[in-house]
Amino acid sequence: MPDTKKFIENLSGAGKCIGVLTSGGDAQGMNAAVRAVVRMGIYVGAKVYFIHEGYQGMVDGGDNIKEASWESVSSMLQVGGTVIGSARCKDFRTHEGRLRAALNLVQRGITNLCVIGGDGSLTGANLFREEWSGLLDELVQSGEISEEASQIYSALHIVGMVGSIDNDFCGTDMTIGTDSALHRIIEVVDAIMTTAQSHQRTFVLEVMGRHCGYLALVSALACGADWVLIPEMPPKDGWEEQMCYKLSENRADKKRLNIIIVAEGAIDQSNKPITTELIKDLVVRCLGFDTRVTVLGHVQRGGTPSAFDRILASRMGVEAVLALLEASPGTPACVVSLCGNQAVRVPLMECVQMTQEVQKAMDEKRFEEAVRLRGRSFENNLNTYKLLSHRKIDSELPHSSFNVAVLNVGAPAAGMNAAVRSAVRVGITEGHTMFAVSDGFEGFYKGQIKEIKWGDVGGWTGQGGSLLGTKRTLPAKHIDKIAEQMRIHNINALLVIGGFEAFESLLQLVDARSRYEEFCVPMCMLPATISNNVSGTDLSIGADTSLNAIVETCDRIKQSASGTKRRVFIIETMGGYCGYLATVGGLAAGADAAYIYEEPFDIRELQSNVEHLTEKMKTSIQRGLVLRNENCSENYTTDFIYQLYNEEGKGVFDCRKNVLGHMQQGGAPSPFDRNFGTKIAAKAMQWISKKLKEFYREGRVFANTEDSACLLGMRRRALVFQPVVQLKDETDFVHRIPKEQWWLRLRPLMKILAKYKTSYDVSDSGQLEHIVRLRAKDVSAI
């Protein structure tokens, strides 16, 4: 079979000029995208130009269009907003304005545009592309360009990246800036919760989203808000009484605070706005609660971009340059987007049309259709929120007479508590009796098992660590005592939330089924580990929080190094033998190198890294950042690398080292981890309910098939239940890592962006997908 692999080395940008601009509202992560476009463009041999102040700069020309250099994008990664400026441009909306813009581009030979903005900016770019040949003809007729120039520059190629904190663009799961905006909202909500609790207050929070309720919906999911109001789902008539009833019920349950989240574009069934003041007056009038309003405003656009946004924007920026290199005159303008965990290209106008259809459906009060058009990610968030938000009274609940136990196994990971809360509440809604096991399997064999009720998990989403307690103990040693406890408490299903130990535990329990019937019950594992080293899933609960802790520390360290000049920092990250944190953290923090176990290195590579940094110190960027995974090499320890760099860099740079340690495990969970934990736990409980019905025979549950013990993981685009027994072959048990890891494909990106020549397999890129097919195929995705 011929090798169909495609490598970056075979793609050349020589003779091509790329213009990069940011337009419309700013969003955190835009700078990371600009940096990636500039560096990848220069890497492939193209010239890259900054177009300052968006389309306005393109129309005005002059100094607004400047050639970018490698150094000119240094230190941009950690800065919010957009350094090259953005402006709303009336001139570009006129034919005359677009004609001037075309002249400015042709004069510099720019026929490739990378536009980072919202749907308005991208629609404008597409119109410009459609008019391009006509505009060139006009410029030839007026004598402003030659006939020859119009031939050379006859085609304009456009690739878009969506930068918008609202996540209001169809065709991508996440837009650049959304995750950072969620970080800002959650920081505020967490802070407000402590003051609200002190005074037993109700807080009404307004978040951005004039036409899209994504921020409101996900932040409500991530903080366990009592009520949320979004434009896509106006509350049914009589919602006022319902909301007040729910608030008073929560207070009666000894909950000291209420949080209501409102999107700025929230409306009722008659399309009338629902404002924060209206809600405040309603709560005060009906319940007499002490109520305060907080409007978050532009705080949500500000601050430093999250690790997720930096990685997303860097991946998108590189993909955008590849798309421009591969474009031919007939290629439609495309948008580089994210589907699950995969970068894909979708035709720009298909996305814009669907985005406009959402608004049309809302205007025509077809709200269910609007939610469907928003895409699977939005729909799943909404369904999970509905599942968790409304506590049914006992008489409304189906009664299943099944007992389900939840436990945490392994090291603590932020987001475990959000997963437990979600599992407990969904389990109760499904009619099961939920049991919590303290301290993992150690607590299990000692009988630390008790029923856990709806109210017991209130306020758990924002708590770091593991409130149930977690231990690394595996069940094999105490298997008979665990079986006895399963019998005593009549446990009919198990939900295990944890890392590699949880995976090994499930394998041991499956193995014990032939000897103990007690383990012939449905079992599900949710991956929760900062190391992200479990087979069967691309991402684990806790890894995102850990990455943010690493990136935040690296930012501070880089700042310190910039002040002292000529300084290189060696930073040790956790992860066992898995290099995920070092690699992805390195990409997000702009590291010069990341040493990991999966990619063996020798003294020659260390030497070449030192030489690379020596060269770097001759430029205006006089600092270096090197990450090292804790177990990347038995002999090349952090101390060894530090001493080697110190010795070899003598007279050129000095060195410092920093071992990050357990700060990577702590802290409040990030919005992504809260949301991911909440969603996969809800999905796992629904799977457990289905399996319990399936395996209920003659008055008892008996499940001993392979598919009754599964791991629920995210694979590229979808959430999949995979029998743990089948994942055995995919696992290296000695080093506790999967044999194949998707993120290794990101390593060349990190190297390219740090100016190393490297081989980069781009076979995954280049397929233009259609948005409708993309949605139909991925219904089970996140």
DSSP β-ladder status, 696-697 and 700-701? antiparallel
The residues pairing with 336 across neighbouring beta strands, listed in sequence order, are 161, 345
DSSP helix/strand/coil, 344:
strand
Q: Which of 493, 523, 518, 485 is nearest to 507 (CA)?
A: 523
Instruction: Please give the sequence-ordered ranges of beta strands (E in DSSP) within 530-689, or none if there are none.
Output: 567-573, 593-595, 623-629, 654-659
| Of the candidates 23, 58, 716, 661, the residue with the CA atom closest to the CA atom of residue 338 | 716
How far apart (Å, rounded) are the C-alpha atoms in residues 164 and 178? Answer: 7
Distance CA 377, CA 383 (A): 10
Instruction: Please state, in angstroms and rounded to a whole number, the distance separating the CA atoms of residues 189 and 294.
Output: 10
Strand (E) or helix (H) holding 185:
helix 178-199
- In whole angstroms, what is the distance from residue 189 CA to residue 193 CA? 6
Asked whether 444 and 437 are in contact (CB, 8 A), the reply is yes
Cα 303 to Cα 586: distance, rounded to the nearest angstrom? 20
CA 516 to chain centre: 41
> Are 529 and 414 contacting, i.e. CB atoms less than 8 angstroms apart?
no
Q: How far apart are CA 544 and CA 536, in angstroms?
A: 18
Q: Which residue is associated with the tokens 């995705």?
A: 781
Rounded Cα–Cα distance for residues 424 and 684 (Å): 11
**Phi and psi, residue 267, nearest 5°:** -135, 165
For the CA atoms of 373, 377, 383, 385, the dihedral, rounded to the nearest 10 degrees, stands at: -120
Q: Which amino acid appears at position 305 of this protein?
A: P
Q: Give the span between the Cα atoms of 707 and 386, in whole angstroms.
A: 28
DSSP for 413-435, written as a single string: -TTHHHHHHHHHHHHHHTTPEEE
Long-range contacts of 352-356 (CB under 8 A, 24+ apart): 352/119, 352/122, 352/123, 352/126, 354/170, 354/171, 354/771, 355/119, 355/168, 355/169, 355/170, 355/171, 356/119
Active site residues: 166
Length of the chain measured in residues: 782
CA–CA gap between residue 220 and residue 211 (Å, rounded): 17
Closest CA to 529 of 711, 362, 392: 711
Q: Which of 333, 364, 367, 421 is nearest to 230 (CA)?
A: 367
Q: Which helix (H) or strand (E) holds 151?
A: helix 147-152
**Category of 391 on φ-ψ map: left (φ > 0), alpha (ψ -120 to 50) or beta:** beta
Residue 516, classed as helix, strand or coil, is coil
Give the closest residue to 335 by CA, choosing from 344, 326, 327: 344
Structure tokens at 243: 């909301």
List alpha helices for 695-770, DSSP H: 724-727, 747-753
Token pair for 230:
């979004």
Under DSSP, the state recorded for 64 is G
Rounded Cα distance, 366 and 28, in Å: 32
How many Cα atoms sit within 13 Å of 732 on the Cβ side?
14
Distance separating alpha carbons of residues 7 and 763, to the nearest angstrom: 7
654 vs 569: CA distance, rounded Å? 9
